[in-house]
A and B are shown apart, each in its own frame.
Chain A
Amino acid sequence: MIISNSFTPFFGFVEDVKDPEKIGRVKVRVTGYHSENKGVLPTDDLYWFVCLVNNSEGDSGIGTNPKYNVGSLVFGYFIDNELQNGFVAGAFNGQDDINKLAANTDIDSTIVKTKKDSVQSGISKAGGGSWSEPQTPYKAVYPENKVTESNSGHVIELDDTEGAERLHVYHRAGTFYEVHPNGSQVVRIVKDGYTIIAGDGYFYIDGESNGFIGGNHDLNIKGNSTINIDKANDITIGNSQNIDIGGSQTVNISTSQTVSVGGAVQIDASSISMNAGTISLTGQLVFAGNVTHTGSLVTSGALSASTIDSGSTSLDQHVHNYTWTDPSGAGTTTPPV
């Protein structure tokens, strides 16, 4: 023969959820059994009742913890004849307790309105044009949208509304992650964003990519960097550019290169070698030091030098033989000797 506890059902209102043992218990003022006068029976004097959790949960910290609120109308059972021990089986949704996002009522007082009002639009593209943040495609139909909203305003939506299926996680500050019906994803971070990848990172964009950085950009690459651009690369730098290269730099250009410099170009190097069929200068060529030239030197302008050395003849010491042929003084000199 087995004798077991007698169970007495009850209804009551949750008055405290801050379980000191942190095991999800709540204090319930049981309607009809406990005095409604909190002066006589303070909340502190009520017992902590445990709460049932979902199937397969409630073991070793796995699953979700009970989420009753102060004021929740709950149903449960006393499990002893003295009506001292009890548990909460569940809570009731009253007429004002359905989340507005689930019911799609008074939607302008919800985060849908907040999100629509803060959409980022007209973001410039580097190559011209602009793009905008898509608006939330919220179009929930009751009872397809399963909403969980916390006391402070965090929201999780699993919206199964046909044609407007969404997955949405929203932080009360405005940061959210939303997957749209077509699979597009919008992530909006209203403050700083950090992504830490301890291992390798990969990203793949099959279509166009547009980035906009309103402030400075600092990229620190500890290893090698390889950039492969199949087509053209346009870089516009509004101010100066400084490139520090620890080793050598090699630039291979298949066809031509045009460098247009508005001011002077200064190259500091121990030597410069140029392998070109022709070097054409339209301006003046000035050498502060010696010039050694092994080929022919052709200039259509003046050639000025303090010393011109052709190997055995110098410009300041060489002589020309002169043959006088004309009494007026005109004649012909021979090459320097």
Chain B
Amino acid sequence: MASKDYKQNGQYNLKRVELILPSGDSLDLKTSFLDISLYESLITPTMSGSISIIDSANTYNSELLGNGEEIHIDFETAGSSNNISYYGVVYKSSPPTRLSEHASGIILYFSSKERITSSRMIVSDAFNNQSSEIVKTLFGRIKNKKNIDIRQTKNIHKFVPASHSPFQIIGDLASKSISSQNEYGYLFYEDNKQFNFKPIQYLYTQNPITQYAYKNAGYFKDVNKKEEESFNSIQDYEIVSVSDLLQQIDDGVLGSTSVNLNILEKSIVTNTYDNVSAFDKNKSSGKTPNMRDLTNPNKTDIKEIEIGMNNAPSDKARFYNIKEILNSQRYAAKISVFGDTSTKAGDIIICALPVWGTDAQNNDKVPDPYSGRCLVFGIKHTIQKTKYTQSLKLVKNAFEVGQ
């Protein structure tokens, strides 16, 4: 974990909030915005967000906002050299809300420019290459300001686009890809630095970039490091409601079977999945799979029937990819922390969540399975006039305890 120059927590440098109108004119929103929300998630290909502004110049009506204006947001945590430079397109505007006789409030919703570009682009030519190479080629066709970081795949795919956009194809490839290191669960997503095409099993193997712990307000272990302690403290947290057992059974996460029929060969290949046998502690967030006792040894919770011919359906990649990603959703927590522009979706952090109980405050041996290495599945950046905070969605597919 890199050292940081900790400043007053929640402080940030807002370098640019600018709306570029179709006419080419720009509006500086640094003074007129109320708050900015910026989202990044492992299950969405691009970032998105919203900005609330005070419209005192009747801009909403004169410029018909919400129809493709460009928005540039550039900011960084105070004391950090890791800035977030975001470039999006406004796709929707809320109706103006009266604030006073002289001003109204509006919310502009935006998404990354690449999403708009991809949606308006049809890929017509066919590919026959490794998935990672196809992704690289497709991504290169979109005018990007960001780069893409691709985890090398090992399987060759022929892909004949059928009115697909580039991001659709990349999403399809993600579901069938296996990394050269035999990692499953490919995800295509944008974080605040770059685009990514990586398997979730690889993300689990990364070194943690920071750590957060829950502490009582006003209490510091070392007053000389109170900025650091505050910065790394969890301001608020929430255990997120996840799929219940019935839903998990329906999802087949605990044990399922895939029956693959190859029409050409008139052959049937059966693949099975269960949480224990598929678990690899070197490619997970902990040592022991979550909810291991609930694993269905007969793998009968769900049966998937896949029919194919051109792409060998006997390949279990798609089946395992889906299960690996679903498996990560069996435990989730949201923590609110002071904003750190060096944290991005897909990072690993170490998180110590509180444990409630009579002995919890003074007994180190109270079971605490959910603390430890967590994958940042999504981030909501919230910039207000006075502070910059983040809400991190954390997931983990394994306990720290165990073997």
Contact = CB atoms under 8 A, between A and B. Distances in A.
Are A and B genuine complex partners? Answer: yes
Interface of A: 1-5, 21, 23, 30, 32-35, 37, 40-41, 45-48, 50, 78-85, 87
Nearest to B122: A35
A47 to B, nearest CB: 5
Given A3-B304, A34-B162, A45-B160, A84 B125 contact: no
A265 B23 CA distance: 124
A78 B160 CA distance: 12
Contact of A3 (B161, B164, B264, B305): B305
A85 B305 CA distance: 14
Interface in B280-331: 301-311
6 contacts: A1-B303, A5-B305, A5-B307, A34-B161, A84-B158, A87-B309
B250 A50 contact: no
A35 B124 contact: yes
A51 to B, nearest CB: 11
Given A40-B125, A81-B172, A50 B305 contact: no
Given A1-B250, A41-B125, A34 B160 contact: yes
B263 interface: yes
Contacts of A33: 162-163
Given A47-B310, A79-B308, A32 B163 contact: yes
B159 interface: yes
B268 interface: no
Which 8 residue pairs across A and B have the least CB separation, nearest first? A35-B124, A45-B126, A33-B162, A83-B162, A4-B305, A82-B172, A40-B124, A33-B163
Given A1-B302, A80-B306, 20 more contacts: A1-B303, A2-B302, A2-B303, A3-B302, A3-B304, A3-B305, A5-B306, A21-B264, A34-B124, A34-B163, A35-B125, A41-B124, A46-B126, A47-B158, A80-B307, A84-B310, A85-B308, A85-B310, A85-B311, A87-B263
Interface of B: 122, 124-126, 128, 158-164, 172, 175, 250, 263-264, 301-311
A50 B264 contact: yes
A11 to B, nearest CB: 13
Contacts of B302: 1-3
Contacts of A35: 122, 124-125, 161
B124 A47 contact: no
A30 B162 contact: yes
A37 B124 CA distance: 8
Contacts, number: 82
A33 B161 CA distance: 8
Nearest to A2: B303
B324 to A, nearest CB: 17
A78 B264 contact: no
Contact of B160 (A47, A50, A79): A47
A84 B306 contact: no
A85 B307 contact: yes
Nearest to B168: A82
Nearest to A36: B124
A114 B310 CA distance: 46
A23 B160 CA distance: 21
A21 B303 CA distance: 32
Contacts of A37: 124
A41 B126 contact: yes
Contact of B311 (A21, A23, A84, A87): A84
Contact of A85 (B128, B163, B303, B309): B309
B160 A46 contact: yes
A106 to B, nearest CB: 39
Q: Which interface residue of A1, A33, A50, A78 has the most chain B CB atoms within 10 A?
A: A1
A82 B310 CA distance: 12
Contacts of A1: 250, 301-303
Contacts of A80: 306-308
Contacts of B311: 84-85
A45 B161 CA distance: 10
A4 B307 contact: yes
A35 B162 CA distance: 8
B128 to A, nearest CB: 8
Contacts of B122: 35
Contacts of B124: 34-35, 37, 40-41
A46 B343 CA distance: 44
A84 B160 contact: yes
Contacts of B250: 1
A34 B164 CA distance: 9
A21 B263 CA distance: 14
A40 B250 CA distance: 42
A216 to B, nearest CB: 56
A47 B310 CA distance: 7
A5 B307 CA distance: 6
Nearest to A32: B163
A79 B307 contact: yes
Q: Which interface residue of A3, A21, A41, A87 has the most chain B CB atoms within 10 A?
A: A3
A50 B263 contact: yes
A50 B263 CA distance: 8
A40 B134 CA distance: 16
Given A47-B310, A83-B162, A2 B264 contact: no
B304 to A, nearest CB: 5
